[in-house]
Each structure stands twice: as structure tokens, then as C-alpha cells.
Chain A
Amino acid sequence: GDSVTQMEGPVTLSEEAFLTINCTYTATGYPSLFWYVQYPGEGLQLLLKATKADDKGSNKGFEATYRKETTSFHLEKGSVQVSDSAVYFCALSDHSGNTPLVFGKGTRLSVIA
């Protein structure tokens, strides 16, 4: 079945450092890809999404590009802030959006001042 693999955490960075969180997927067809963020004590928030190959999703300084050739959707941010400390989840669904979300295990990010 479909699956998502994320880099293991936790990731600890200093403020203003560059962030990359790796995500690769296995799916039949061409899925839609998502990054969700979970702040402490809260539910999941959609951070960004991409629905076809070479699409770039972006939001709040974060971005990720849908790479069909490498089946990847890596999350990047040029300069992290303490407020970015959270758990980040990569997820997929089928292209039509008619299947439930399949999530990776999550990557915890801690940003220190």
C-alpha cells in the first residue's frame, strides 16, 4: 500500500539556520502531497500542498517541491525561528483526494535562540 517515510528526528537548529526535512513516498499513480504541522498541545494544521509533479507548495517561508523522479517532497525553510518548533508530518492521498491521508511518523523540530 501507499506509504510515507520521513527523516528521523529530533532535529535541533539554531535560530536563522536552514531547515530541510526529508520525505519520500511510495504510491500507485500520482498522489497529492502535503506537509502538516503540529504545535504542542494542538491538532494538525495544513502547512502546504502540491498536487502534481514539479509543483512547489509554499507557506510562511516553508516550501516543498513535488519530485516525481525521486518520489520526494522535502520541506525546506531558509531561516527558522523559535516559533517554528513543532512536529512536522508529510502525508499523501490519491490525486483525486478521495482516499484518506497517509502520514509519515513525523519529525520533531526544536529551534533554539
Chain B
Amino acid sequence: DAGVTQSPTHLIKTRGQQVTLRCSPISGHKSVSWYQQVLGQGPQFIFQYYEKEERGRGNFPDRFSARQFPNYSSELNVNALLLGDSALYLCASSLAGGSYEQYFGPGTRLTVT
């Protein structure tokens, strides 16, 4: 069975640009969560979506936004990129909206120059 997939794998952007990251959950999973992992730190929660509705939002600025599509895939958008947005962005899917049995994708490595 396919796990959580994310695209692209790596991305280099310039300050001020916008970026869109994509995530496909495990088949049958209806919840997707996004986390930011800065080098040397643990992942920090950004968003959770369940059945296309936003279930939760972490302490991130409004430059970060996300959505979930009818097929349960998800996009994370970041506008007006800052150097500090450089990180590994992880997507996790689960059957329902809770934290139990979250399955993580390999992540998208974003570098902002």
C-alpha cells in the first residue's frame, strides 16, 4: 500500500516568493496535518484538516494557509517567504481527526535564499 506522499521533495525559493506544497494521504484516511521541522528541532504543528474542514491551527502567521480537496489530498501555501521559513515540511494522515496513528510522509525540504 502506498504511504503518505509529498511533492516536491526539495524546493529552493527566494525571499518574498510564494510556495505550494502538496500531500496525498494514505487511501481511506480523511485527516491531514501539516508540521514544520526546523533543523535541529522537533516538528511544530501548523494545520489539521478533517473532511475538508480546518480542525486546528498552530501558532503560525497568516502567510501560511492550507486546504483539503474532495479526494482528501492537501496543499500548504506560504506567501512572502522569509529566510526563517526554511525547514522540512511534514504531512501526516490519519483515519479520523485525532493524533492516534498519524502516518508521516517523507517531507518537503524548503530552502529560502
Interfacial residues, chain A to chain B (CB-CB below 8 A):
4, 32, 36, 41-46, 49, 89, 91, 93-94, 96-106
Which residues of B in the span 84-113 have a Cβ within 8 Å of any Cβ on A?
Answer: 90, 92, 97-107
Pairs across A and B, CB under 8 Å, 25 listed: A4-B42, A32-B99, A42-B106, A43-B106, A43-B107, A46-B101, A46-B102, A46-B103, A49-B100, A89-B42, A91-B42, A93-B99, A94-B99, A96-B98, A97-B99, A98-B98, A98-B99, A99-B56, A100-B33, A100-B45, A100-B99, A101-B45, A102-B45, A103-B42, A105-B42
- Chain B contact residues, majority secondary structure: loop
Taking CB atoms, residues of chain A closer than 8 Å to B43 are: 44, 89, 101, 103
Taking CB atoms, residues of chain A closer than 8 Å to B70 are: none
B57 to chain A, nearest CB (A): 9
Number of chain B residues whose Cβ lies closer than 8 Å to a Cβ of chain A: 25
Complex CA distance for A99 and B48, rounded to whole angstroms: 9
Q: Which of A94, A99, A100 has the most CB of B within 10 A?
A: A100
Interfacial residues, chain B to chain A (CB-CB below 8 A):
4, 33, 35, 40-45, 48, 56, 58, 90, 92, 97-107
Complex CA distance for A42 and B104, rounded to whole angstroms: 9
Taking CB atoms, residues of chain A closer than 8 Å to B106 are: 41-43
Taking CB atoms, residues of chain B closer than 8 Å to A98 are: 97-99
- Please tell me if the beta carbons of A32 and B90 are within 8 angstroms of each other in the complex: no
Taking CB atoms, residues of chain B closer than 8 Å to A105 are: 40-42
| A89-B42, A106-B41 as given contacts; A101 in contact with B105, CB under 8 Å | no
Complex CA distance for A32 and B100, rounded to whole angstroms: 9
Complex CA distance for A103 and B35, rounded to whole angstroms: 10
Complex CA distance for A104 and B41, rounded to whole angstroms: 8
In the A-B complex, the 3 residue pairs with the smallest Cβ-Cβ separation, listed nearest first, are: A97-B98, A103-B42, A93-B99
Complex CA distance for A46 and B100, rounded to whole angstroms: 10
* Partner pick for A43 among B45, B48, B100, B104, CB 8 A cutoff: B104
